[in-house]
Chain A
């Protein structure tokens, strides 16, 4: 790490920030795959062969409705378990 000859101490809080940003990116990718796979995986059949859940076509139910509930839950769990509280203001204090 670091740029060789130039010595400065890297802000430790950024390790946390970087990790959490990556989690956000991965969650978005997973969100996209879930949304896409159910919508077009189940939805590409002829409409006559559709199955229905709570009145909605199965593709729509899984992709949009269950997807919405599931990703809201994942965000909740991700934030509660993996996102750390970090002071924003200080300059001297160390984290962790």
Chain B
């Protein structure tokens, strides 16, 4: 056991727990339980909004997987990672005000509330809820495995015990604190991620004898490490550019990101969040992936990519500082998982149960149910993550791109295109998810682009064509929806 590393980690878990307790006070007092539990009563300020967006989006892959690949491929992978800078401002600029205003008009708490009111179709709602539950459940399980493995590697405890520590700390604050706890802990986690990146970046540059020295050594080992094409010249411009869809502008279609675009207090919060978010996401992505590249000179010969970041932290920093830095990936995993957990539970309770199973449920019943369902889902994920079944790992492959392809057009065009209707949205979701799975399984990275590109394009075509073909149907209802959404 390495106590230098473990103490900051557990200190961090303790603070997170306190935040959960603090937030649960708001839940007791809140006039509208669902608004508070799943949306923090739309009270986020700019700083918290920025950090919760960055932290939700930045997952284990930004801190563990990404630097490992950068270690092997060089600066080309940092270039690819910088396609994520755009997420700092794009989501809020595009969804931003329109989503916030509309969500208040129709009193939407979840993303699906919005889709439900906009398309007035049971099938759109059920398909959305199913996609969210299935994909995010599997994504969550994968992240929990990552969280368990992280604790396992720092503490030397067994995997199951590590997973238990991880799961119970996340569960406690999400279940008792709801969205407010998630957002506040996300901010704390975002700050830890930021500071961790800064410390490790400085430490690595110093240990490597300065940037010039590191670059020279890399170019001697293999010139392509400092080219944009990757050490094995596998990174073509087209392939790298296609990540602008997957981890750049396409992020707008991820439910966990989109729901944040209706959670803030006022337009000032949104403006501030764009500025802060861009700075923070840019710095973390640039810093963490550069660390991976620099590590090649500082700690050569690491075989397993996922070990690059922990090994370099222990190498270049004193033990207690390494502990703080290693809390960063932990924070990244937690901040992603907590949002997903809440989202899955909101899909089950708010979108399915309250909408279709028992619309007459009292506040008290809904409250009891929300808390217990959130806990039950968390426990289920924990049990799944102990020994993840193959189908879960299989599903997780589609989670990110599949959700983007499913939701991006029903959200964006639902907000900005009056002719969009339920048929178009339904077609778009089916085509998006279906073609994503088909392409991923048969010819991944078709035409040298990441798999996500074609499904996003196809689901756009599906949305527009089907909406236009069916525009004569239900004209009166459609007109009412438009009036409600666009009118005063």
Partners in one complex: yes
Where the two chains meet, the residues of A that have a C-beta atom closer than 8 Å to any C-beta of B are 3, 6, 8-14, 16-18, 20-21, 23-25, 27-28, 31-32, 35-36, 39-40, 43-44, 46-48, 50, 52, 54-57, 59-60, 63-65, 67-68, 71-72, 75-76, 79-80, 83-89, 91-92
Interface residue stretch chosen among B85-93, B155-163, B173-181, B391-399 = B85-93
**B312 sits at the interface (CB 8 A):** no
Bound CA span A55–B216, Å: 9
Task: Find chain B residues with CB under 8 A from A89 CB.
Answer: 104
Which B176-215 residues have a C-beta within 8 angstroms of A? Answer: 210-215
| 12 pairs of residues in contact across A and B, judged by CB atoms under 8 Å | A11-B101, A18-B98, A24-B94, A25-B93, A27-B93, A28-B86, A36-B237, A40-B228, A55-B215, A57-B215, A68-B283, A80-B271
Chain A residue at minimal CB-CB distance from B268: A85
CB distance from B228 to the nearest CB of A (A): 4
Question: Is there an interface contact between B275 and A63, defined as CB atoms closer than 8 Å?
Answer: no
Where the two chains meet, the residues of B that have a C-beta atom closer than 8 Å to any C-beta of A are 75, 78-79, 82-83, 85-86, 88-90, 92-98, 100-101, 104-105, 210-215, 219, 223-224, 226-229, 237, 241, 244, 248-249, 266-268, 271, 274-275, 278-279, 282-283, 286, 416, 418, 479, 482-483, 486-488
Bound CA span A88–B266, Å: 6
Bound CA span A9–B324, Å: 55
Question: Is there an interface contact between A56 and B271, defined as CB atoms closer than 8 Å?
Answer: no
Chain A residue at minimal CB-CB distance from B485: A11
Q: Is the interface of B mostly helix, strand, loop or mixed?
A: helix
Bound CA span A68–B224, Å: 23
Question: Is there an interface contact between A86 and B97, defined as CB atoms closer than 8 Å?
Answer: yes
Q: Residue B90 contacts which of A10, A24, A84 (CB distance < 8 angstroms)?
A: A24
Question: Is there an interface contact between B82 and A64, defined as CB atoms closer than 8 Å?
Answer: yes
Chain B residue at minimal CB-CB distance from A12: B488
Task: Find chain B residues with CB under 8 A from A85 CB.
Answer: 266-268, 271
Question: Is there an interface contact between B278 and A72, defined as CB atoms closer than 8 Å?
Answer: yes
Bound CA span A75–B105, Å: 28
Task: Find chain A residues with CB under 8 A from B105 CB.
Answer: 91
Bound CA span A59–B224, Å: 13
Bound CA span A52–B215, Å: 9
Instruction: Name 7 extra pairs, CB < 8 A, besides A24-B96, A63-B82.
Output: A10-B488, A25-B94, A59-B228, A75-B278, A84-B267, A86-B101, A86-B267
Question: Is there an interface contact between A67 and B487, defined as CB atoms closer than 8 Å?
Answer: no
Question: Is there an interface contact between A21 and B94, defined as CB atoms closer than 8 Å?
Answer: yes
Question: Is there an interface contact between B79 and A39, defined as CB atoms closer than 8 Å?
Answer: yes
Question: Is there an interface contact between A31 and B85, defined as CB atoms closer than 8 Å?
Answer: yes
CB distance from B233 to the nearest CB of A (A): 11
Give me the 10 closest cross-chain CB pairs, A-B, nearest first. Answer: A24-B93, A55-B211, A47-B223, A55-B212, A43-B228, A17-B97, A8-B487, A17-B98, A68-B282, A79-B271
Bound CA span A2–B483, Å: 10
Chain A residue at minimal CB-CB distance from B78: A64
Task: Find chain A residues with CB under 8 A from B213 CB.
Answer: 55
Bound CA span A64–B271, Å: 24
Question: Is there an interface contact between A20 and B97, defined as CB atoms closer than 8 Å?
Answer: yes
Given contacts A39-B228, A86-B101, contact A79 B274 (CB under 8 A): yes
